[in-house]
Chain A
């Protein structure tokens, strides 16, 4: 049983990212290769595994079965299905907002999480906020479909502070990208 499609996730992310970024922006500074590199090598693999995610009740992970949609300062908030680190919602920031003075990383790892209110899967970009000491509040470590370093965009241990002025990890956000 195939549960998700890394290729489509990567494509959606890149399109969103490209659509919302000026040429003089961070993409130009980083270079397209930097953003695309984790995804391109995987294309053949991902195509081979292309399949719609299983959205049935039986297809839900242990996390998804008990996830809630009311409190985003708790580890069981539905978007946090593959988050690792301090929740920015507990550190002076928000679900897609870095705490004051911290800098969001333009690249991230991703997860596919089930919204308990509509039962649908959404692509979540876990963007780290960088440039300040480790927040250490509301530490979570959820691992739905989380993989190892050879599939880096699905790994939540990497310090995802690329293209920021400081690579120090502060906390993590869970930005909704779109339907998976």
Chain B
């Protein structure tokens, strides 16, 4: 009786011939895209580095992965592999996608492994895994994993539950050091130092991350961390080296990032819309900002888009029923646009003709609006319910 091994060996020439034929036939099969009937072989699609019209939709608390969509035509282009509760950042040079993530050797148990995973943006293939000591498991926070403006350093927020920041050298692809950061979180790139962070005492901490012995300095307190907190999902605009903060009551602050950051006097988004300012008192019904990713900034025009809902204070996670378009320089709400699907996430592409995206709810539908007309041009069903990321203005 012929052994299985020898049968397999004798089959090899036949297989090779089939493969050779299919290779020869490949161009013909590709040309016949309407309804090919020739034998085919499997291959893998290519992808270009990120473009300004692309969005990266984290699929939320239940499904891993970050889906890439082209907001021009609504097509899904691929998926960056991101574990549940991972944080993704895009290399400013567009070469890599970095994912701060946590996995266990036995699925939901076993040895915990924290890392920054590096994917090549031209094929979405794994390039490297940089081990780090730990990270906060939360998801939905963009400021837990940030990159320096030049893309050379990554900063990963850790909470064990003592808070610290892991500094990662992205060029050498190695963990550099952990910096203890008690009472502070919500990281902000700071080209003048390393990074800054919001703190429980209402101050802004600034950390010199490059030095062998990191130094932490604090600004004077400027907000109340428990009475009128600033949303973790703040915005950093590297074209101006400026951060934009939004508080629960609707105060908008800007902060010039430097070795000693300067924070502006806030203005009220409600007053900017001709209404009275938001208050912390119960029974005071007003418009309030809300959601997980409650605002988006178009850097070049200085327009801030905020998800707003009517209600009382302490409703800061409620879905927005209107989008307010704020001219930051003029401190004016220039447009209020009702939306039918209450939204907890908003982002805007940094194109010259930008598109605004919003999503909310478990269905994970992402709505795309052309800001020239405010018409909804696309509805991406089941795209994802997590944070949306766009490429930085370059």
Query: A interface vs B, CB < 8 Å?
Result: 1-4, 6, 33-35, 37-38, 40-42, 44-45, 49, 58-63, 65, 107, 131-134, 136, 141, 143-152, 154, 157-159, 161-162, 165-168
Contacts and interface: CB of A to CB of B under 8 A. Distances in A.
Interface residues of B, number: 51
Contacts of A150: 183-186, 197-200, 225, 229, 232
| Top-5 shortest CB links A-B | A41-B183, A37-B162, A149-B185, A41-B182, A168-B108
Interface in B228-285: 229-232, 280-283
A158 B61 contact: no
Nearest to B144: A149
B103 to A, nearest CB: 11
Interface string B295-322: 0000000000000000111111100000
Nearest to B141: A149
B23 interface: no
B85 interface: yes
B109 to A, nearest CB: 5
Nearest to A63: B314
A58 B31 CA distance: 73
B314 A158 contact: no
A158 to B, nearest CB: 5
A33 B162 contact: yes
B378 interface: no
B185 A148 contact: yes
Interface string B322-335: 00000000000000
B145 to A, nearest CB: 13
A165 B157 CA distance: 22
Given A65-B282, A146-B317, 19 more contacts: A4-B226, A34-B160, A35-B161, A38-B162, A60-B282, A62-B315, A145-B314, A147-B225, A149-B136, A149-B157, A149-B186, A149-B232, A150-B197, A151-B225, A157-B138, A157-B139, A159-B137, A161-B137, A168-B109
Given A61-B312, A149-B186, A131 B108 contact: yes
A37 B182 contact: yes
Contacts of B144: 149
Nearest to B157: A149
B112 to A, nearest CB: 7
23 contacts: A34-B162, A37-B162, A37-B182, A45-B201, A45-B226, A49-B227, A60-B282, A62-B314, A131-B108, A134-B61, A147-B226, A148-B198, A149-B185, A149-B232, A157-B139, A158-B136, A158-B138, A159-B138, A161-B137, A162-B161, A165-B109, A166-B108, A168-B109
A145 B317 CA distance: 12
A1 B280 contact: yes
Nearest to A164: B109
Given A131-B108, A145-B314, A152 B198 contact: no
A33 B144 CA distance: 22
B140 interface: yes
Interface of B: 61-62, 85, 102, 104, 108-109, 112, 136-141, 144, 157, 159-163, 182-186, 197-202, 224-227, 229-232, 280-283, 311-317
Given A42-B183, A146-B316, A159-B137, A152 B280 contact: no
A49 B317 CA distance: 24
A107 B162 CA distance: 12
A5 to B, nearest CB: 9
Nearest to A162: B161
Contacts of B183: 41-42, 45, 150
A167 B104 CA distance: 10
Contacts of A2: 227
A61 B314 contact: yes
B184 A38 contact: no
Most interface-central of B138, B141, B200, B232 (chain A CB within 10 A):
B200
Contacts of B315: 62, 143
A6 B231 CA distance: 19
A59 to B, nearest CB: 6
B282 A45 contact: no
A157 B197 CA distance: 18
A126 to B, nearest CB: 14
B230 to A, nearest CB: 7
A32 to B, nearest CB: 11
Nearest to A165: B109
A40 B109 CA distance: 30
Contacts of B140: 157
Nearest to B311: A62
A2 B227 CA distance: 7
B314 A1 contact: no
Most interface-central of A134, A136, A149, A161 (chain B CB within 10 A):
A149
Given A150-B183, A157-B140, A159-B138, A145 B226 contact: yes
B64 to A, nearest CB: 12
Contacts of B313: 61
